[in-house]
Structure 1
Amino acid sequence: MTDFVLAIDQGTTGSTVALMDGRGRIRASVNYEFPQHFPQPGWVEHAPADIWQSVQKGISAVLRKRVCKASDIVAIGITNQRETALLWDRDSGEALNNAIVWQCRRTTDFCENLKSAGHEKMVRRKAGLVLDPYFSASKFRWLLNNTRGIAKNLRAGKVAAGTVDSYLIWQLSGGKAHVTDVSNASRTSLMDLKRCDWDSELLDLFEVPKDILPQVVPSSAVLAHTRGVKGLPDGIPIAGVAGDQQAALFGQACFTAGDAKCTFGTGSFILMNTGSERLLSRSGLLTTLAWQLGEGGKPVYALEGGAFVCGAAVQWLRDQMQIIRKASEIEALAREVEDHGGVEFVPALTGLGAPHWAPDARGMLSGLTRGTTRGHIARATLDAMALQNADILLAMERDLGKRMKPLRVDGGAAANNLLMQIQANVLGRKLIRPQVIETTVAGACYLAGLGVGLWSGTGEIRKIWQAEQEFRVGMTPHRRRQRFASWQKALERTLL
């Protein structure tokens, strides 16, 4: 009999469920998309029932692939979209409102008011985060102020609040466990990074009662057990949990301070392991908790910069602009032209994240001429995806005071060879792509496997990780400076 780990990767546009064997090989994987809701400009919501249904469908479908029996599953790992916030009923498990997605900007005015009142310094010192509607705390406050019947439910002690990992663990455990791991808790603006627990001053600032929040627990340990999940036996340990970007860092075997990765998903995110040091950025980046292994384990921290729109820009070209029919077509279309042809695309479709933190910024497509083709727009889109990451990397290097190591890349868009070469060129750094580019899944599996002793430690996991391809720099420093200067001009116009 072979031991398997089941991973649930709950993302912004869909849920992936996968099975990894004891040798670290992903043997089966399925994905189910679910609807996105945009009730007003700048607002983004999910129906929690759609999220849970997509996970249930994924569990059933991956088991139908018959690579293992349900009884062979020794642990479950969860990774998830991080800052998305939701409320649900403790008795029924039903959502009390739609989830507010991490991309949503509805709490911009509230966050700006907190900034004006001088609260950002305290939030940065304790939580490591800037005051921005991106993070969960202001979303919880909005839900508490705008959900029908919430006061009565609060008085009755029936309200549970959490990020998506908490909601899934609640559902998987039949309502027996209300927990969140330290990496997800660190994205709420409510956790003290030093103590790894909810902070009373932050809770008061955002008007969030502590008793509705989950218990903060390690990223790798037995946190709960399955109960009443269709297709799964009761009692399977849920033993690994991390936010998607931290899971990708772990899945890339970035276990040493200075190791870094960039995940190309709906957004793009660069994380660098800083070890036991909580490095506070001077350049608009975030300090976050990467993971904690086991009860009493030492927290590992990271420096992070994220762009809200990466793969979502390709989806926009496909769905709204209808320039392509499938996301995979963008590479071939972009290769039809030699370069961007003067076209610049700033994909601030939901504001700008690090290092600018401009929630009111809006996207811009400029430099169009009669000679502009679909290929130029496609190439400008790939360039933009890479250039915004370069913007973040330069800020990260300013904080570090030194050049970074070669960057490990993953996520769905990392399969695009042209995009990876563009990224290496504009960064001026070698890129390394692993054999398993969906490293969020791998990270969730590794954490869960460690939690039940399937693997002895990170040294064993480091041996499992394998590189698939390297992308070396193919652009001169002079050309890189020119390309970056053109991008910066477009970016400055967006920020006006």
Structure 2
Amino acid sequence: MRNPFDLDFESVDGDSEPAQEFENEPETEVEVNVQPEQTDDGNRSLLQDEERRGDDLKERFIGTIDQGTTSTRFIIFDCTGVPIAKYQTEFRQIHENPGWHEQDPYELVESVFICIEEAMKTFLALGHSRSDVEAVGITSQRETTLVWDLETGEPLHNAITWTDTRTMNLVRELKEKPGAEDLVNICGLPLSTYPSSVTLRWMLDNLPDVKSAYDDGRAAFGTVDSWLIYNLNGGPQNKRHVTDVTNASRTMFMNLETLKYDDRLLKFFGIDPKKIHLPEILPSADREGFGEICEGPLDGVRITSCLGDQASALVGHCAFTPGMAKNTYGTGCFLLYNVGEKPVISKHGLLGTVGFQLGRDRKPVYALEGSVAVAGSGVSFLMNNLGFFRDSRKVSDLAATVPDNGGCIFVTAFSGLFAPYWIDDAKGTIWGITHHTQRGHIARATMEAACFQTKAILDAMEMDSGKKLTELAVDGGMSNSDICMQTQSDIIQIPIERPAMHETTALGAAIAAAFAIDVWKDFADLKYMNRANRATFNPKISTKASARMYKQWSKAVEMSRGWMEPNESDDESNE
């Protein structure tokens, strides 16, 4: 049985079919001008030069490690953004107690090497050589937290994922500490079960092996990117311990403006930087800082980019201009809005984060982010827990059996509600069930839950930025559902743009890696990237009808509050 955090669409968050080579994916060519003009002297025009450059880029290749919440993939792109070879594999999800979600650190690393090995077989079979892969980029799940012995490379506990809610009571305690209300102004993040800082504090308080290594000065803290880079570079042999600005901005330890660890933040969480090894913070694209792969078919190939998965998707959509936004419908749902070269601290429940920094000589670009805990995992819940279908790609077929949700509203608060609500004590609830209710109604309500929460995030972004979004670029598993995307357009009342090539997160890491080795020097070089054959969904219902639907959703959210008492989660985990 597939794990409950997977959605079996072709998506950017490890949610397509496992262990398949890259076959039958749409052939997406970069748009080039097809009618070049001649200049007066007969020389090739600028348009012809662009076409020639496109031909050159088709013979240059970048590999991307895309390590998602439920699976890992390795994709080789040519430098026009077309995927050439791919392999994907899933790994175990560990749920020992209610609300707990862990992963085996060794399996994460093993999955990466397996995917590289298998994708390279396809690449070589197509007539390419190993040396054709010029660089590798990494994108990964973000707040998932690991601690290991820097000297031996031994993990001191399983990775605790970003969806884990065991720290709920700790969050309540931290919110009562003096200075708690000031944290968001420094790091852009509110206190919740989401960031890595709270998870690390829990590990130090509850795991003797972690506390002992911390006291001895042996403990290395990192998110998944740091753990992978450490191991890809030989682990204890080289001890390369780094991260990038996008991942570091998710820990609650980094100052958003200085891009450095902040003593005030570390002190608040009781973290002594002299006792724990924190990864060096680098730009998202860097020629040398991330080292090189130490074994396997890409032994010696440089790693030149590293981004958190949602930041990578922002780059993959080429959302380089302030005011551009993307929404990823993977395990969760993540909407990022480019706000430019100065951080914006949200007043309406959003996260301030680093969008990307594509080189040491480039300024960081910041984003506002809204995070929805449950998107594709809601569809997997219908499949794995309720048996609605055996293939999650059938959710659209089931939803199409009914014209609307039949009055059903599904507040998918499996891990509480994230932005902009931040309701930790909400529980998943389905309202409006009658004798008329069918499975199709609940399928629609499940997809609509992500769409309604996206609407709430966009409203908050408009209030924070003072600007209304004119279109939304999308990717991820649920974005492949036409019904879901049409519903999303209806609810937010703006057009939805869906690229034909779905691997947007992996593409972002490839773009960043290519920037580091000067394949591109300017964002304008990427204006045609992944633009061909886009699908557009425009609103089909009135603004009044949309507002009526959203009002019903908002009422359901309020009714889902308060299902857990303050100490109830502790009682559950000790049963």
Q: Which TM-score applies when normalising by structure 1?
A: 0.97
Distance in 2, Cα, partners of 1:144 & 1:76: 34
SS at match of 2:403: coil
Distance in 2, Cα, partners of 1:70 & 1:95: 32
Distance in 2, Cα, partners of 1:256 & 1:96: 42
Within the candidate set 194, 219, 226, 1:159 is matched to 219
Residue 86 (structure 2) pairs with residue 21 (structure 1) = no
- Aligned residue number for residue 550 of structure 2: 484
> Any unmatched runs of 5+ in structure 1?
none
CA deviation after TM superposition for structure 1 residue 402, in Å: 2.6
Residue 61 (structure 2) pairs with residue 4 (structure 1) = yes
> 1:277 and 1:228, CA in 2 relative to 1: closer, same or farther beyond 3 A?
closer
Within the candidate set 333, 353, 358, 2:418 is matched to 353
Residue 152 (structure 2) pairs with residue 92 (structure 1) = yes
Report if aligned partners of 1:71, 1:233 keep a CA contact under 8 Å in 2.
no
- Aligned residue number for residue 242 of structure 1: 307
> 1:277 and 1:31, CA in 2 relative to 1: closer, same or farther beyond 3 A?
same
CA deviation after TM superposition for structure 1 residue 450, in Å: 0.5
* Per-residue CA distance 1:287-315 (angstroms, 9 max, x = gap): 10111121142111101101010001011
CA deviation after TM superposition for structure 1 residue 225, in Å: 2.7
- Aligned residue number for residue 205 of structure 1: 268
Pairwise CA RMSD:
1.5
- Aligned residue number for residue 21 of structure 2: none
SS at match of 1:424: helix
* Per-residue CA distance 1:300-346 (angstroms, 9 max, x = gap): 11011010100010111111111111110000000000000011101
**Paired letter, 1:48:** P
Report matched runs for 1:276-287 at 5 Å.
276-287=341-352
More strand by share: 1
Report if aligned partners of 1:30, 1:61 keep a CA contact under 8 Å in 2.
yes
Report matched runs for 1:50-449 at 5 Å.
50-66=107-123, 67=126, 68-175=128-235, 176=238, 177-210=240-273, 211-222=276-287, 223-234=289-300, 236-449=301-514
CA deviation after TM superposition for structure 1 residue 283, in Å: 0.7
* Per-residue CA distance 1:236-275 (angstroms, 9 max, x = gap): 1111111111100111010000001101110001110000
Report if aligned partners of 2:157, 2:210 keep a CA contact under 8 Å in 1.
no
SS at match of 1:197: coil
SS at match of 1:220: coil
Number of aligned residue pairs: give it.
495
> Any unmatched runs of 5+ in structure 2?
1-57, 563-575
SS at match of 1:169: helix
SS at match of 2:528: helix
Report if aligned partners of 2:170, 2:202 keep a CA contact under 8 Å in 1.
no
Report if aligned partners of 1:414, 1:437 keep a CA contact under 8 Å in 2.
no
Distance in 2, Cα, partners of 1:168 & 1:153: 20
- Aligned residue number for residue 9 of structure 2: none
Within the candidate set 94, 104, 108, 1:37 is matched to 94
CA deviation after TM superposition for structure 1 residue 162, in Å: 0.2
CA deviation after TM superposition for structure 1 residue 182, in Å: 0.3
SS at match of 2:415: coil
**Paired letter, 2:105:** P
Distance in 2, Cα, partners of 1:489 & 1:227: 52
Q: Which deviates more from structure 2 when the two are superposed, residues 63-72 or residues 468-477?
A: 63-72
Distance in 1, Cα, partners of 2:423 & 2:260: 29
SS at match of 1:198: coil
Distance in 2, Cα, partners of 1:313 & 1:263: 15
Distance in 2, Cα, partners of 1:123 & 1:320: 38
Distance in 1, Cα, partners of 2:211 & 2:269: 17
Distance in 2, Cα, partners of 1:94 & 1:152: 14
* Per-residue CA distance 1:144-191 (angstroms, 9 max, x = gap): 233333344335443211000001100111133110000000000000
**Paired letter, 1:354:** A
Higher-RCO chain (CA-CA 8 Å, sequence separation at least 6): 2
Q: Which deviates more from structure 2 when the two are superposed, residues 68-77 or residues 337-346?
A: 68-77
Report if aligned partners of 2:147, 2:210 keep a CA contact under 8 Å in 1.
no
* Per-residue CA distance 1:122-142 (angstroms, 9 max, x = gap): 211110110111000011112
- Percent identity, please: 38
Q: Which deviates more from structure 2 when the two are superposed, residues 142-151 or residues 40-49?
A: 142-151
SS at match of 1:29: strand
Q: Which TM-score applies when normalising by structure 2?
A: 0.84
Distance in 2, Cα, partners of 1:79 & 1:441: 7
* Per-residue CA distance 1:362-404 (angstroms, 9 max, x = gap): 1001211122111111111111121111111111111122311
Distance in 2, Cα, partners of 1:303 & 1:371: 41
- Aligned residue number for residue 569 of structure 2: none
